[in-house]
Amino acid sequence: MSQEETLNGKLPGGAFLGRALHRIGLRGRGLVIAIPVLWLFLFFLLPFLVVAKISLSEAAIARPPYLPLWNWDDGFLNITLNFGNYLFLFDDPLYLSAYIESVKIAAVSTVITLLVGYPMAYLIARAAPDTRNILLMLVILPFWTSFLLRVYAWIGFLKGNGIINNILMKIGLINEPLVMLQTDFAVYIGIVYTYLPFMILPLFANLVKLDQSYLEASADLGARPVTTFFTVTLPLSASGIIAGCMLVFIPAVGEFVIPALLGGPDTLMIGRVLWNEFFSNRDWPIASAVAIVMLVVLVIPIMLLRKAQAAEAEVQ
Amino acid sequence: MGQQSRFLKIVALLGFIFLYAPIVSLVIFSFNESKLVTVWGGFSTKWYAELFRDPQILEAAWVSIKIALISATLAIVIGTVGSFVLIRFKKFRTKGLLSMMITAPLVMPEVIIGLSLLLLFVAMQGLIGWPGGRGMMTIIIAHSTFGAAYAAVVIQSRLVDMDLSIEEAAQDLGAKPVRVFFDVTLPVIAPALLSGWLLVFTLSLDDLVIASFVSGPGASTLPMVVFSKVRLGVSPDVNALATIIIGIVSLGIIAAALQISRSKKHGAER
C-alpha cells in the first residue's frame, strides 16, 4: 500500500464516528486512556480483590454461600477476618500434596516440551524461508483447532482398546493392553501435546535472530558442532528458553481439562481441586483460598516470564 | 554436520507426527461405521447426520457462535485502544497498571480467571443488582476481557512496526488526532485487527473453564456440552464435530497464508 493510498483510503464510518465522539465531548487523552483502564480494572483486577476478600470469609449455607466480611452493628463497623480457610489448606494434606503434585507434573512436562520443542524450533529457524513458513503454519494450525477436542483425541489413542494398544498387540509387542489412560503418564502426554506450540514459537523467534557469524567463528576456532551448540547457541537462546518454559509451566500448573479427561481419580492437580471445591462442594471461601495460594506459587514464574520477554524485546 | 542435521530432522519429524496423529485419527474415525471409535467398521457419514439431529449440540453451537462474535468484536475495541494508548502515548499515570493488566490475563490460569469473575458478578449483583443473573452476557464480558489481552499482543506488534511518518504526515497536514487514528492508523493496522479478531473468536469458541464458571443455568456453550459428553467416554459424533471444526480452521489458515504470500509477492513487484 502506498502512502497516498493510505491517506485517502479512509474508513467511511471513521470520520463520522470521530466527529460524533468529539461532539459529545469525548476528546483528550484522558478519556481514551480511560476505556481500557476502566474495563480491565473492573473485570480483571477488581475480581482478584473480591477473591481475596471471600477467601477470608466463612462458608455458609446461603446464597451466596459465604458470610459477609463486615457488617454494621449499632453504628459500629464489624470486620470479621477469618484465616481459617488458609489454616485449613495447610492442615489438610490433600491440598498441600495437590500443590506439590501440580508443580511437579507441570515442571516435568515443561522439561519434556522443551526437549521436543527445541530441535523443532531450531530446524524451523534454519529452514529456507519458504519451507520455514510452511513449518511454522504446521506448528500454529493445531493451536487454532479446539483444545478440548485435541485432548479428547488422546482418549481414543490411549485407552485400553485404543489405537496404541491395538497397534502394539497386532505387531506382537504386548499381549495385554497397557493401562495408559487415567494415569499421570496420560496427563504428561496431554500437557506436552497441547502446549508444544507455546514452547516452539518463542524459541523460534529467538533462534531465527541468532547471528550466524558467532557459529562460524566458533567453528573456525575449531569447536565441534556439539561444543558450539552448548557454548554458543544454547546460552544465546536462554531468554527464549525461559519464555517458552514459563508459557508452558504457568498454565500447566492450573490445568483442569487435561487431568479431568486424561488423568486418573488420584491425579490431584490444584486446578481440579479448585473446580471440585467450587462446583461439587460449593465451598466458595476455600476455592478462593486455593486460588490465592496458587497465585502466590505462580508469582516467581510470572516474574521470570516478564523478564525473559523484556530481554527478548530488547534484542529486537 | 550431516549427522547432526539428520538427527534434527528425525526429531522434528517425530514432533510433527506427534502433533498431527491425534488430529488425523479424529478425522478418520469420524467416518467410521462402528460405534467403537477405535475399531474400523467401514465408511459411513452417519455420525454427521446424528450430529445435525442433536438439538442440544446445535443450540449450544449457536450460543457459542453468538458469544464468540460479540466477544471478539469487543475484545478488538478494548485491545486496539489499549495497545494504541500504550505504544503511542507518552507517559501517563496508569501506564504501568494498564500494561500489567493487559498482559496478565495471558498467563493467568483459567480456573482463577473464571472463579474471580464469577465472584465479582455475584458481589456486584448483591451491591447494585447488576448483571441480573448469569448467562450469555457474563460469558461475553469474561471472553472479551481475556480476548483483549490476546488481541493486544497482535495489535501492539503491528503498531510498533508501523511507519510513524505516515501519521506524522497527516498531523502536519492539519488532521486532528482522532482523525489521524481513524483515517490513517486504523487502515494500516487493519490486517492485525482481523487476525486478532479471528484469534479471539476461536479462543472464545473453545473456552470451557471460564465459561463454566461464569455461565448460568440458561446458557450452555458448545465446549460445555462436548465436555459433559466426552466425560462419559468417546462418542463418534464428537469426532464428526471435531472434523468440521478442523476443516473450517484449516481452510481459513490456508486462505490466510495464500493471501499473505500473494500480498508479499505483490509488494516485492512494486
Q: B241 CB near a chain A CB, below 8 Å?
A: yes
Query: What part of B 60-99 touches A (C-beta under 8 Å)?
Result: 77-79, 81-82, 84-85, 89, 92, 94, 97-98
Whether B206 contacts chain A with CB within 8 A: yes
Asked if residue A144 has pLDDT above 70, the reply is: yes
Mutate which of A27, A120, A147, A149 to test chain B, going by most B C-beta atoms within 10 A? Answer: A149
> Average pLDDT of chain B?
86
- Residues A7, B97: C-beta atoms closer than 8 Å: no
| Predicted local confidence at residue A7, as pLDDT | 38
Residue B153 lies in a domain: yes
Residue B90 lies in domain = 59-233
- B120 in the same domain as B42: no
pLDDT tens string B187-198: 989 989 998 999
Residue in B23, B111, B178 closest to A142 by CB: B23
Number of H-type helices and E-type strands within chain A: 17, 2
Domain count, chain B: 2
Among residues B214, B119, B131, which one has the least CA distance to residue A53?
A: B119
> SS3 string of A179-223?
CCCCCHHHHHHHHHHHHHHHHHHHHHHHHCCCCHHHHHHHHHCCC
A216 contacts on B by Cβ (under 8 Å): none
For A153-173, how does the pLDDT look when each residue is reduced to its tens digit (9 = 90+)? 898 888 877 888 888 888 888
pLDDT at A1 over 50: no
Higher pLDDT: B213 or A57? It is B213
- Helix (H/G/I), strand (E/B), else coil: A248: helix
Alpha carbons within 13 angstroms on the beta-carbon side of residue B231 total: 11
Does residue B197 belong to any structural domain of this protein? yes
Domain identity same for B37 and B137:
no
What does the alpha-carbon distance between residue A190 and residue A184 come to, in Å, rounded to a whole number?
10
**Side-chain half-sphere CA neighbours of B9 within 13 A:** 7
B257 and chain A in contact, CB less than 8 A: yes
According to the 3-state scheme, what is the secondary structure of B80-149? HHHHHHHHHCCCCCCHHHHHHHHHHHHHCCHHHHHHHHHHHHHHHHHHHCCCCCCCHHHHHHHHHHHHHH
CATH number at residue B160: 1.10.3720.10
Q: What SS3 class is residue B187?
A: helix
Q: Locate the chain B residue with the closest alpha carbon to A10.
A: B183
Of the candidates B209, B105, B202, B94, which has an alpha carbon nearest to the alpha carbon of residue B153?
Answer: B105
Tens-of-pLDDT digits for all 270 residues of chain B?
A: 456 678 888 888 898 999 999 888 888 888 888 777 667 778 888 889 888 888 889 999 999 999 999 999 999 999 999 999 998 888 888 888 898 888 888 888 999 999 999 999 988 888 887 777 788 899 999 999 999 999 998 899 889 888 888 888 888 888 888 888 888 899 989 989 998 999 999 999 999 999 999 998 778 999 999 998 888 777 788 889 989 988 888 888 788 777 777 776 665 554
**pLDDT given for residue A130 in this prediction:** 83
Q: Report CB contact under 8 Å: B109, A196.
A: no
Cross-chain residue pair B234–A148, CB shorter than 8 Å:
no
Indicate if the pLDDT at residue A277 is higher than 50: yes
Q: How confident is the model at residue A307 (pLDDT cuts 50, 70, 90)?
A: confident
Q: Which residue has the cell 544454547?
A: A234
Q: What is the pLDDT of residues A256-273, one digit of tens each?
A: 999 999 998 888 899 999
Q: Is B142 a domain residue?
A: yes
Does one domain contain both B39 and B71?
Answer: no
Mean pLDDT of A197-215: 89
Pick from A32, A163, A255: CB nearest B81 = A32
Kindly list the domain boundaries of chain A, sorted by start residue: 3-79, 85-315
At A9 the pLDDT is 41
Residues facing residue A72 across a β-bridge: A77
Q: Hey, are the CB atoms on B25 and A153 less than 8 Å from each other? A: yes
Does B227 contact chain A (CB < 8 Å)? Answer: yes
- Which CATH fold would you assign to the domain A85-315? MetI-like fold (1.10.3720)
pLDDT at B265: 66
| For residue A114, pLDDT beyond 50 | yes
Query: In chain B, which residues have their Cβ closer than 8 Å to the Cβ of A278?
Result: 115, 213
Chain-centre distance for alpha carbon B23: 19
CB neighbour list of residue A104: distance below 8 Å, 6 or more residues apart: none
Considering the domain architecture, whether residues B205 and B242 belong to the same structural domain is answered as no
How far is residue A140's CA from residue A95's CA, in Å, rounded to a whole number?
36
Which chain B residues are Cβ-neighbours of A155 within 8 angstroms?
230, 233-234
In this structure, the answer to whether residues B121 and B160 fall within a common structural domain is: yes
B174 belongs to a structural domain: yes
Q: Which of A3, A5, A6 to mutate to test the interface with B (most CBs of B within 10 A)?
A: A6
**β-pairing, A76-79 with A70-73?**
antiparallel
Q: Where are the beta strands (DSSP E) in A100-158?
A: none
Residue B64 confidence (pLDDT): 94
Asked if the structure places residue B18 within a domain, the reply is no
Burial class (CB in 10 A: 0-12, 13-18, 19+), B88: middle
Q: What is the pTM of this model?
A: 0.86
**All residues at 6 or more sequence positions from B89 whose CB lies less than 8 Å from its CB, including other chains:** A29, A33, B95
Q: Quick check: A156 and B38 CB within 8 A?
A: yes
The three-state secondary structure class of A77 is strand
pLDDT at residue A180, as a whole number = 84
Give B69→chain A minimum CA distance, Å: 16
- What mean pLDDT is reported for chain A? 83
Q: Which residues in chain A are contacts of B186 at CB distance < 8 A?
A: 11, 14
Let me know whether B47 and B170 are in one domain: no
First to last CA, chain B: 40
Q: Do B261 and A133 touch (CB under 8 A)?
A: yes
Do residues B173 and B114 share a domain? yes
Are the C-beta atoms of residues A244 and A202 closer than 8 Å to each other? yes
Q: Does residue B41 sit in the same domain as residue B160?
A: no
Give the per-residue pLDDT at A40.
92
pLDDT of residue A73: 63
Q: Does any CB of chain B come closer than 8 Å to the CB of residue A44?
A: yes
Rounded Cα distance, A130 and A201, in Å: 17
Nearest-CA distance A183 → chain B (Å): 15
Other beta carbons within 10 Å of B198: 17
A111/A202 Cα distance (integer angstroms): 15
Residue A111 pLDDT > 90:
yes
Burial class (CB in 10 A: 0-12, 13-18, 19+), B196: buried
Same domain, B177 and B242: no
Whether residue B132 is found in the same domain as residue B245: no
Are B104 and B227 in the same domain? yes
Say whether both B132 and B220 belong to one domain.
yes
Question: Under an 8 A CB cutoff, do B119 and A43 touch?
Answer: no
